[in-house]
A and B are shown apart, each in its own frame.
Chain A
Amino acid sequence: MADLINVIENWLNKLLLGWGASPGLTQFILQALGSVLVVLICFMIVIALIWVERKLAGRIQDRFGPNRAGPFGIFQSFADIIKIFTKEYITPQGADKVTFNIAPVLAIASVLAIWAVFPFASNVIGADVNVGVLYIVAIGSFGILAILMAGWSSNNRYALLGASRSVAMLISYEIPMVVSLLIPVLLAHSMKLSAIIDTQRPWWFILVVPTAALIFLISSMAEIGKAPFDLLEAESELVAGYHTEYSGMKFGMFYVAEFLHQFTVGALITIFFLGGWTGPMAAHWPILGVIYFFGKAFLVYLVISWIRLSLPRIRIDEMLNLNWKFLIPVSFINLIGVAVADRILLDLEPPRWLYVAVMFVLNMLILLVALYLSGKSQPALEVEEFPHRPVAVSPRTEKSSS
């Protein structure tokens, strides 16, 4: 009972072998079932997340959010799905039809495929390949290709502008993201995701390398393309950016991909910095590990939503400056510091808590120095000061004050 998923797997395995299927075929069927299950769970999560996000956005912006379809509006997403299913597809004149139709599929496949390597619990691991981190980075970049395809094939100036902007932004932020991914790899001495999680017992990497975690959070928020980094679909400038011309389910695919990407980033932060499935009792009860994994990923998702609902959009030059003049130098210097410190501490063999403390202090020092230097190099903001507040004052209060 402790190990529900493996029990079901063993039962299915015996059943299929008993029916006379060859071991190869049995394995194939089980793997196909597993991947369909993971993909279905992803879609289910997105349906729930869309409702959570809209409700949260409503509450933060002082309105109700969806509250008509079902109790608390929980059936809103289903109503939207039915609506979007019956919408007409409109292909604009002069669009490159093949590219136009492939782009939404590629956008969501690039996010879904990352889930193939996730370790959900101590023994529920998709594919525990020894190049897991590289696989995630490589598959994740296909999303950029999908955006460029969508923008170019739409035959629309706004879409093309949005696409070229977003490619400049996404490839820029890919660098600090990958460099901060290098740091967990460096600490675990492995690119295997299960090995990275094993190294995080009992000290999560967010306590060991907080600066890397922060840089990863910021740069992957830019990769999602949500506010404050939502320049690729700045409504006030570019209509809707690269998916201006999409309608019906093709638009729905981009929409779902965006939400799923945000949740995937939550899962990635969970794996690399928040200890993955680890938690009290998780080693003995793998089903608890699955709950911890999704719970942590959901918490990170909420934090990202909170940030995006609180901050206004930044300009493109500010965004590129933030990346090239702050995030990239800081992430590389952090990498150098962590690598040298890790190598020296490995020879000294200190107790684990001392190692964690040294790494934490080093990371915070690098971050604080970088913040201080960047604050110093910025020109001071010019604030125009008015001698009197230019506000209409009623004559009565004017008289009484004088």
Chain B
Amino acid sequence: MQAYWVYIGIFLIVALGFPTIAVTLPALISPRKPNRRKQEVYECGIETKGNVRVQFKTQYYIYALLFLVFDIETIFLFPWAVSLGKLPLFAVIEGVIFIVILLAGLVYALREGALAWS
């Protein structure tokens, strides 16, 4: 079991190392002649004005919140799904009730129009 996690650790280092090498090698052989015009931000030929890191729609936050609710729900459901064969039918129904409560939240959000993109 532990050997597997050592393997995953080595694999992560290799997976990070290969692209790092691939990105740094061209830096050694490619030309480098920076100038101001070349390094301008690309905006279809028009000069950029003001702060670029603009605020974005608040609607994105609602999606993020709903994502959080459902993602944590699914993580809780994984142990339930694994042990489903050993659980009595009653415990399965309890899991179903858990899902239905959260689905009710989704229906509420839909009714309130929180998910309507405007």
A116 in complex: contacting residue of B12, B87, B100, CB < 8 Å: B12
Cβ contacts under 8 Å, A130 to chain B: 1
Selected from A93, A129, A168, A172, the residue in CB contact (under 8 A) with B41 is: A93
A155 touches B7 (CB 8 A): no
A-contact bits for B74-102, CB 8 A (1 contact / 0 none): 11011001111101010011011001100
Query: Which of A36, A39, A128, A245 is in CB contact (< 8 Å) with B42?
Result: A245
> Which of A177-185, A206-214, A305-313, A382-390 is the contact stretch?
A177-185
Q: Which residues of B contact A161 (CB under 8 A)?
A: 56
- In the bound complex, residues from chain A placing their C-beta under 8 Å from that of B1 are 129-130
- List CB contacts (< 8 Å) of A125-177 with chain B: 126-130, 133-135, 152, 154-158, 160-161, 164, 167-168, 171-172, 174-175
- A61 part of interface (Cβ distance < 8 Å): no
In the docked arrangement, what's the CA distance between A115 and B38, Å? 39
Query: Could you tell me which residues of chain B, from 28 to 45, have a CB within 8 Å of some CB in chain A?
Result: 29-34, 36, 38-44
Which secondary structure dominates where chain A touches chain B?
helix
Main secondary structure of the interface of B (DSSP, over half): helix
A182 and B15: CB pair below 8 A? no
Determine whether the beta carbon of A339 is less than 8 Å from that of B23: no
**CB of B67 within 8 A of chain A?**
yes
Interface centre among A112, A113, A324 (most CB of B within 10 A): A324
Q: How many A-B residue pairs have CB under 8 A?
A: 215
Docked complex Cα distance between A156 and B39 (Å): 12
Instruction: Evaluate whether A339 and B81 lie within 8 angstroms (CB atoms) in the complex, with A92-B40, A164-B56, A167-B60 already known.
Output: yes
How far, in Å, is A287 (CB) from chain B's closest CB?
Answer: 21
> Within the assembled complex, what's the spacing in Å between the Cα atoms of A76 and B92?
55
Q: Is the CB of A28 within 8 A of B10?
A: yes
B8 close to A127 (CB less than 8 A): yes
Interface residues of A in 313-337 (CB under 8 A from B): 316-317, 320-321, 324-325, 328-329, 332, 335-336
Q: When chains A and B are docked, how far (Å) is the Cα of A151 from the Cα of B66?
A: 23
A84 to chain B, nearest CB (A): 8
Q: Which chain A positions have C-beta within 8 A of B117?
A: 316-317, 320-321
Q: Are A113 and B23 closer than 8 Å at their CB atoms?
A: no
Query: Which residues of chain A in 181-215 are interfacial with respect to chain B, using CB atoms and an 8 Å cutoff?
Result: 182, 185-186, 189-191
CB distance from A146 to the nearest CB of B (A): 11
Min Cβ gap A47→B in Å is 13
Instruction: Give Cα A346 to B110, complex, Å.
Output: 36
CA A172 – CA B67 in complex, angstroms?
Answer: 6
**Interface window among A248-256, A278-286, A368-376, A392-400:** A248-256
CB <8 Å contact, A325 and B110? yes
Contacts of B108 in A (CB 8 A): none
Is the beta-carbon distance between A325 and B8 smaller than 8 angstroms? Answer: no
> Which residues on A sit within 8 Å (CB–CB) of B36?
93
Q: Which residues of A contact B15 (CB under 8 A)?
A: 35, 39, 108-109, 112-113, 116
> A10 at interface (Cβ–Cβ under 8 A)?
no
Whether A332 lies near B103 (C-beta < 8 A) is: yes
Report the Cα distance A116→B6, complex, angstroms: 11
Which residue of chain B is the closest to A93 with respect to CB atoms? Answer: B39
Contact status of A175 and B74, CB under 8 A, knowing A189-B85, A335-B99:
yes
Partner of A38, one of B11, B40, B106: B11
Q: Are A127 and B26 in contact (CB under 8 A)?
A: no
A398 to chain B, nearest CB (A): 47
Closest to A34 in B: B7
A273, B96: Cα distance in complex, Å: 24
CB-nearest residue of chain B to A252: B22
Contacts of A316 in B (CB 8 A): 117
Interface residues of A (CB under 8 A from B): 27-28, 31-32, 34-36, 38-39, 43, 84-94, 101, 104-105, 108-109, 112-113, 115-117, 126-130, 133-135, 152, 154-158, 160-161, 164, 167-168, 171-172, 174-175, 178-179, 182, 185-186, 189-191, 239, 244-245, 248-250, 252-253, 316-317, 320-321, 324-325, 328-329, 332, 335-336, 339-340, 342-344, 346-347
Could you list 26 A-B pairs, sorted by A, with CB under 8 Å? Answer: A31-B10, A32-B10, A35-B7, A35-B10, A35-B15, A39-B11, A87-B30, A88-B31, A88-B32, A92-B41, A93-B36, A93-B39, A134-B78, A135-B8, A160-B56, A161-B56, A164-B60, A182-B77, A239-B44, A253-B23, A317-B117, A320-B63, A329-B103, A332-B103, A339-B96, A343-B89
Of all A-B residue pairs in the complex, the 7 with the closest CB atoms, nearest first, are A317-B117, A127-B4, A112-B15, A116-B11, A186-B81, A35-B11, A171-B67
Give me 8 other A-B pairs in contact (C-beta within 8 A), A105-B19, A156-B48 excluded: A39-B14, A91-B39, A109-B12, A175-B70, A245-B42, A320-B63, A324-B110, A340-B92
